[in-house]
Amino acid sequence: MGNDLASLRSSVDDYLTHISVERGLSKNTVASYRRDLRRFLQFLEDDSAPLQLNSENLQRYVAWLRIDSEDREHLGESSIARAVVSIRNLSTFIAKESGGEDSLREFAPPKIPGRLPKALTMDEVNRLIEGSGSPANPWAPRDQAIVELLYASGARISELIDLNLTDIDLRDESVVVKVSGKGGKERFIPVGSFARTALQKYLDDQRPTLAMKSSRTSKNEPLFLNTRGSRLSRQSAWQIIQEAAERADLTVEVSPHSLRHSFATHLLDGGADIRVVQELLGHSSATTTQIYTLVTIDKIRESYSTAHPRAR
């Protein structure tokens, strides 16, 4: 990629056409990408640093976005994180098109502190699952199995990508997944029929093809593979969730952790004991799990204030 602004603008136009026409993302999603990328181009144009798509410039851009200014719209941390993903996806596209190196491959979106993600509704979960299994997605069996398993197990994204074939047995109707949590502590999580069906389809229809692309053999065969036949990375799994949300045209924030939060919240809404949820999540203390009850408590308060004759 050339370092001149015209070349970068051309790449942005090509990328927006790619996600609109070839990947079939919604108009709203494409418009969000367009805003994020044009804002970044404007920053590069006004900045004194060399015009390059690299981690140093992106880091400085994030810092610039966090400065309050009357000249531009204020962005919250979640919007800044989304902007980073937009730029990083552009970098990946340019690298694939040019055959060069993706200079932003390891650049992670900024963490959003001090706030739990909002639990998804069941409709939003279903739409996310449908988005991951879209016919327009060539890796639909794998991606749908990932989304189904994250929601069915409440596993952390790091725990999911660390799963090996030996950690799950689909021969029984009641499937249990062995997860290695923090500190190497193992726990066993039952998963339902939807996740079982999605995993079986991935293992039968797609994983053998992906496995053939790797010349390496390993004692511990990864459950989820990337397009090179290697273990799927945390970053790639995160991006799979984001792309599923884009295909579903979801306007709420969606991440692997929001699926974990939704898992816990929906169990508690359904009457599950908090100690059971604590065990499933792998929390060493019930105090940590209790933070997941806040949404449930809010719903109880709302129902009380609506239904009780002397609540208002």
Asked if the structure places residue 50 within a domain, the reply is: yes
Say how far apart CA 254 and CA 2 lie, in whole Å.
Answer: 34
Whether 280 is covered by a domain: the verdict is no
Question: Are 57 and 138 found together in one domain?
Answer: no
Catalytic residue among 15, 33, 202, 292: 292
**Catalytic hit among 39, 82, 156, 231:** 156
Res 172 pLDDT > 80? no
* Number of domains within the chain: 2
288 in any annotated domain: no
What rounded mean pLDDT belongs to the chain?
A: 84
CATH of residue 226:
1.10.443.10
- Higher-scoring residue by pLDDT: 232, 50: 232
144 and 71 in a single domain? The answer is no
**Are 172 and 65 in a shared domain?**
no
55 and 93 assigned to the same domain:
yes
My answer on whether 92 and 144 are in the same domain is no
26 and 133 in a single domain? The answer is: no
Both 54 and 156 in one domain: the answer is: no
Q: Both 174 and 235 in a single domain? A: yes
The residue annotated as part of the active site, out of 257, 266, 299, 308, is 257
CB 302 within 8 A of CB 289: no
Predicted confidence (pLDDT) per residue in 27-54, tens digit: 888 898 999 999 888 888 876 656 778 8
What pLDDT, in 10s, does the model give residues 245-280?
Answer: 999 999 888 988 889 989 998 998 888 888 888 889
| Whether 292 is catalytic | yes
Please determine, for residue 216, whether its predicted confidence score (pLDDT) is greater than 70: no
Q: Does 213 qualify as catalytic in the annotation?
A: no
* Catalytic-role residue among 196, 231, 260, 266: 260
Q: At which of 230, 249, 268 does a domain end?
A: 249
Q: What is the CATH number of the domain that holds 45?
A: 1.10.150
Is residue 312 flagged as an active site residue? no
Indicate if 260 belongs to the active site.
yes
Q: What is the pLDDT of residues 117-150, one digit of tens each?
A: 678 999 999 999 999 999 989 999 999 999 999 9
3-state secondary structure (DSSP) of residue 217: coil
Residue of 72, 96, 182, 299 marked catalytic: 182
| Same-domain check for residues 225 and 156 | yes
Query: Which tokens go with 138?
Result: 């060539």
Domain boundary among 200, 232, 249: 249
**161 and 237 share one domain:** yes
Domain boundary among 98, 130, 159: 98
Q: What is the pTM of this model?
A: 0.61
Whether residue 17 lies inside any domain: the answer is yes
Mean local confidence (pLDDT), 283-299: 65
Quick one: 72 and 134 in the same domain? no
User: Which helix (H) or strand (E) segment is 215 a member of?
Assistant: none
The predicted structure's pLDDT at residue 232: 94
Domain with 17 in it? 5-98
Residue range 7-31, pLDDT digits in tens: 888 999 999 999 988 888 888 888 9
Domain membership flag for residue 277: no
DSSP β-bridge partners for residue 190: 176
